[in-house]
């Protein structure tokens, strides 16, 4: 059976957000499978007229299916560092077993930050950015290259660097980024109040 890949696209009152970035990632995934002809994703999207939705676009080499799920933001205030050097989630897909297994280790935290080979990567649902008081930095080697992360890099709002686990508390703020929350800063006086 073919692996099922997915794009999560933000829809608000029928407006589709940043479709060009989702189109690029969809095409790059299919290119790894030897496909060189692509559908226009926007031709498959017919969103509800009102409300905030997570458009879940599921695709294989030869099919596209679209679902619309009303979006309710998860409240994330505490993140737990979890180590795993083997995890691989380089293409966004429905195969999230490894991520789900790590997420279950969060204890009292709301989500996890995955540390791979001593480097900070992502949470279970978002890329990360860290603020040093002057600039926002994002891991050079995330698990998944997110569309929001790429857009903010293109706009010059983020700088990519390797972020070692031992340096994480030298930063002042942390933000989570994905298609639904865009750039969401977790409010705290000290990162030690957020990350355990």
Per-residue model confidence as pLDDT tens digits over 24-80:
999 999 999 888 889 999 999 999 999 999 999 999 988 999 999 999 999 999 999
Asked if 158 and 138 count as a contact pair (C-beta separation under 8 A), the reply is yes
CATH (residue range 5-70): 3.30.470.10
pLDDT for 127 equals: 97
* Domains 5-70 and 79-193 agree in fold: no
Cβ-Cβ contacts under 8 Å for 191 (sequence gap 6 or more) = 168, 169, 171, 172, 173, 174
Distance of alpha carbon 71 from alpha carbon 74, whole angstroms: 9
Closest to 81 measured CA to CA, from 111, 51, 43, 40: 111
- Please state, in angstroms and as integers, the Cα–Cα distance from residue 56 to each residue in 64, 72, 111, following that order: 10, 14, 21
Distance between CA 21 and CA 12 in Å, rounded?
Answer: 17
**Residue ranges for the chain with pLDDT beneath 50:** 1
pLDDT for residue 2: 67
According to the model, what pLDDT value does residue 190 have? 87
Is pTM, for the whole model, over 0.85?
yes
Q: Is 168 helix (H, G, I), strand (E, B) or coil?
A: helix
pLDDT of residue 1: 47
Q: Which residues, other chains included, contact 119 with Cβ-Cβ below 8 Å and sequence gap of 6+?
A: 139, 141, 162, 163, 164, 165
In whole angstroms, what is the distance from residue 9 CA to residue 16 CA?
Answer: 7
- Domain map of the chain by residue range? 5-70, 79-193
Q: Are strands 52-59 and 64-70 parallel, antiparallel or unpaired?
A: antiparallel
Q: Is the CATH number of domain 79-193 3.90.1170.50?
A: no
**CA dist., res. 128 & res. 144, Å (int):** 11
């Amino acid at each position: 059976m073919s692996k099922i890949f997915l794009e999560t696209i933000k829809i608000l009152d029928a407006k589709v957000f940043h479709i060009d970035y989702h189109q690029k990632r969809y095409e790059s995934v299919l290119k790894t499978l030897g496909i060189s002809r692509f559908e226009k994703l926007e031709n498959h999207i017919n969103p509800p007229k009102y409300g905030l939705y997570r458009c879940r676009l599921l695709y294989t080499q030869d099919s596209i299916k679209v679902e619309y799920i009303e979006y309710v933001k998860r409240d994330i205030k505490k993140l737990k560092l979890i180590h795993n050097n083997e995890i691989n989630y380089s293409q966004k897909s429905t195969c999230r077993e490894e991520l789900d297994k790590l997420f279950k280790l969060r204890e009292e935290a709301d989500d996890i930050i995955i540390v791979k080979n001593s480097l900070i990567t992502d949470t279970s649902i978002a890329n990360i950015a860290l603020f040093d008081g002057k600039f926002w930095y994002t891991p050079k080697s995330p698990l998944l290259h997110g569309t929001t992360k790429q857009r903010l890099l293109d706009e010059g709002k983020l700088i990519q660097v390797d972020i070692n686990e031992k340096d994480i508390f030298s930063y002042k703020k942390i933000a989570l980024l994905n298609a639904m929350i865009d750039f969401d800063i977790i409010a705290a006086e000290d990162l030690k109040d957020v990350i355990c």
